[in-house]
Amino acid sequence: MTTEQTAISIAHLDVGYSTKKIISNLNLSIKKGKITALIGPNGCGKSTLLKTISRLLTPSAGAIHIAGDIDVLKSSSKEIARRLALLPQITQSPEGITVKTLVAFGRAPYLNQFGMLKDDDHRQIELAMRQAGITELADNYIDQLSGGQLQRVWIALILAQDTDILLLDEPTTYLDISHQYELLNLLEELNLAGKTIVIVMHDLNQACRYADELIIMQRGEIVNIGTPQQVFTEKMLRDVFNFEAIVINDPEANTPMSIARGRKNSKSRAA
Amino acid sequence: MRVQPRIVFITLIFILLLFSLWHIGAGAIYIAPLDVFKALQSSDSEHNFIVNNFRLPRLLISGLVGAALAISGLLIQGVIRNPLASPDVLGVTSGASLAVITLAVFWPDAPTSYIPPAALIGGFSATALLLFLARHLLHRPAAFALVGIALAATFGAAIDYLLTVNPLEINTAMLWLTGSVWGRNWDHLPLIAPWLAVLMPLALLLAYRLDLLGLGDDTATSLGIGVKKLRLLCIVVAISLASAAVSVCGSIGFVGLVSPHLVRSLLGHRHLLLLPATAITGAILVISADLFARILMPPIELPAGILTAFIGAPYFIFLLCRYKNW
């Protein structure tokens, strides 16, 4: 065995409906303290896997453990919510509340019935807003924020949850390109500060650049796991994504990146 | 528009007291505000009999019915995240009414204590039917509300049929159906007060979890909320309150729709504040509706439900027009 610790371990997982299995007999361990990206073509089950880990979907069989021996499916919801935070793909912000109020909801797993914040909760909220770089926005109303700012606020919310593990479902989908990189850089900083991060990603080159480990999925199964250098190959892109591409070294980050192959009569060739 | 919660509450309570005073004072025998106080304080006062035996219970019942309907609407709008929902729009109150009318037609001698359980059974059956028929429309608020409206119309037709074929004391039934607090006395108070006394604190206990539910099912779940259980519990509380209100004075429409909207626009999202504020607003609406129903064209007394519909129905149309996520 390696000395690396496991953050999430999944055994014999089945997820799906009676008629259609989306994931069947999946086994996986996700390393602690790393950024792990789940990639794969649409419908491969990567979001389903993330949703199952975060208890949004109930598997028909199998077990999920975090931090060694805590059973995600059998422990109390609050207990798990103190160890595992999720940023869903589509977030829903109530109208007319301030940034700080929204971030404070991240403390829910630590609060009583009435949601009264104590001193420690206020400290955690301030810290989360500072880490996400939104301290100046604290008193702004949610409705006034740009898409990039709003996504940072949601990151602050899951940071306020004070968990070791962050799960994010395509967090960059609705952001423009500069905000995508801003967000990914933020996640990298959080990872350096000790968080285990699992992201479902759509952009393969971003996945290669930011992830320590790629989990490649196809038709509900894991095809390969490894560092981008190990698993991100032209053959994999063809087999899994049905994508004809060359893989070169990203000159900026020194990680693999893909470039689509041109067609014979395409404009770029003619020029 | 955001207002200091303290100011909102002070204003609401002031309006409630104002209308309460007017409500007790108005009628065939006018009682000046000062005399109302006198009548409430001492039994020697000349108006003591009218106030304590007729007007005070009627006021209390109007207020409690309004509060129950308003809280019911707030809870329903919160858990199915549908701004167009309320117990009357979704057919819950018509279902409860149908059950009570059925009881009255087929068992005319049934004691009045059978009315609340009948209303509850009707309300819950209507909700179960709605949730079954519209189970794929939960995320489409307008379509969901439309199924509810259709159900309400069906129950309404069934009520009309029963009353036409079995012309019992049609006047009393009509009065009750359109939501009247006419002739309500102390005997009717136990039909509604205990429900509120138990369910209002329960709703307050659920308040923070309802706030979290406003962040979406996914976020609420990942913050440790048992979403399905919470939703079921809130729906049970909401329907019980609406059915209890129906068992006292028929269906008073639109209170459950309008009150939560009004209060949300002033206070925002925190259910711990919204619940009491909505309850007071609902009480004000029904008390003032009953007041104007009595004083607009004396000696005729209109049912309060007709007046709330006059305000509520146009507001519902306004919401529908403004609503974009069809």
Q: Are A218 and A231 in contact (CB under 8 A)?
A: no
Q: Are A177 and A158 in contact (CB under 8 A)?
A: no
Question: Torsions phi, psi of A118, nearest 5?
Answer: -105, 180
* Residue B237 CB-density burial (10 A; 0-12 exposed, 13-18 middle, 19+ buried): buried
What is this model's ipTM?
Answer: 0.88
What is the pTM assigned to this prediction? Answer: 0.86
Closest CA to B73 of B310, B317, B326, B274: B274
Region of poorest pLDDT, from B169-178, B234-243, B315-324: B169-178
Distance from the B268 Cα atom to the nearest Cα atom in chain A, whole angstroms: 6
| DSSP collapsed to 3 states, chain A | CCCCCEEEEEEEEEEECCCCEEEEEEEEEEECCCEEEEECCCCCCHHHHHHHHCCCCCCCEEEEEECCCEECCCCCHHHHHCCEEEECCCCCCCCCCEHHHHHHHHHHHHCCCCCCCCHHHHHHHHHHHHHCCCHHHCCCEHHHCCHHHHHHHHHHHHHHCCCCEEEEECCCCCCCHHHHHHHHHHHHHHHHCCCEEEEECCCHHHHHHHCCEEEEEECCEEEEEECHHHHCCHHHHHHHHCCCEEEEECCCCCCEEEEECCCCCCHHHHC
Question: Torsions phi, psi of B6, nearest 5?
Answer: -60, -45
Closest CA to B142 of B212, B227, B80, B232: B80
pLDDT range class, residue B179, cuts 50, 70, 90 = low
Are residues A56 and B217, on separate chains, in Cβ contact within 8 Å?
yes
d(CA B177, CA B314): 21
**Which tens digits make up the pLDDT trace of B99-145?**
988 888 887 777 777 888 888 899 999 999 998 998 888 777 778 88
Cβ contacts of residue A75 below 8 Å, gap of 6+?
Answer: none
Question: Which candidate from A81, A92, A111 shows the least CB-CB separation from B222?
Answer: A81
Question: Which one of B79, B222, B275 makes the best mutation probe of the A interface by having the most chain A beta carbons within 10 Å?
Answer: B222
Q: What is the pLDDT of residue B325?
A: 55
| % residues pLDDT > 70 (chain A) | 95
Residue B88 has pLDDT above 50, yes or no: yes
Residue A187 has pLDDT above 90, yes or no: yes
- Say yes or no: A117 contacts chain B, CB-CB below 8 A: no
Report how far apart, in Å, the C-alpha atoms of B274 and of each of A185, A208, B85, B229, B252 are.
40, 48, 16, 21, 21
Q: Give the bridge partners for A29, in sequence order.
A: A9
- Which 3 state secondary structure label does DSSP give B90? coil
Distance from the B219 Cα atom to the nearest Cα atom in chain A, whole angstroms: 7
Residue A271 has pLDDT above 50, yes or no: no
Closest CA to A157 of B204, B229, B223: B223
| B223 vs A contacts (CB less than 8 Å) | 81, 105-106, 108-109, 161
Distance from the B195 Cα atom to the nearest Cα atom in chain A, whole angstroms: 22
d(CA A33, CA B43): 77
pLDDT range class, residue A263, cuts 50, 70, 90 = confident
Q: Are B49 and B35 in contact (CB under 8 A)?
A: no
Both tokens of residue B157? 């037709």
Q: What is the pLDDT of residue B27?
A: 74
Q: What is the pLDDT of residue A21?
A: 84
The amino acid present at B321, given as its one-letter code, is C
- Give per-residue burial for B182-220: e unless 16+ CB within 10 Å, then b: bebeeebeebbbebbeebbeebbebbbbbbbbbbbbbbb
The amino acid present at B242, given as its one-letter code, is A
- Say yes or no: A228 contacts chain B, CB-CB below 8 A: no
| A114 vs B contacts (CB less than 8 Å) | 207-208, 272
Q: Are A10 and A28 in contact (CB under 8 A)?
A: yes
**Which tens digits make up the pLDDT trace of B295-308?**
887 777 777 788 88
Residue B190 has pLDDT above 90, yes or no: no
Higher pLDDT, B75 or A267: B75
Distance from the B97 Cα atom to the nearest Cα atom in chain A, whole angstroms: 35
Residue A160 has pLDDT above 90, yes or no: yes
The predicted model gives B145-154 an average pLDDT of: 89
Residue appearing with tokens 């009750």: B176
Residue appearing with tokens 């609407």: B73
The secondary structure of residue B188, as a DSSP letter, is G
Closest CA to A10 of A128, A179, A167, A120: A167
Averaged pLDDT of chain A = 90
Q: What is the pLDDT of residue B198?
A: 93
Q: What is the pLDDT of residue A216?
A: 94
Sign of CA dihedral B242, B247, B253, B259: negative
* Residue A267 CB-density burial (10 A; 0-12 exposed, 13-18 middle, 19+ buried): exposed
Residue B281 has pLDDT above 80, yes or no: yes
Residue appearing with tokens 């429900």: B195
Residue A96 has pLDDT above 50, yes or no: yes
Q: Are B252 and B308 in contact (CB under 8 A)?
A: yes
Are residues B221 and A108, on separate chains, in Cβ contact within 8 Å?
no
The amino acid present at B291, given as its one-letter code, is L
| B222 vs A contacts (CB less than 8 Å) | 54-56, 81, 84-86, 88
Q: Are B107 and B166 in contact (CB under 8 A)?
A: no
Residue B286 has pLDDT above 60, yes or no: yes
Q: Report the residue of chain B nearest A108, measured CA to CA.
A: B223
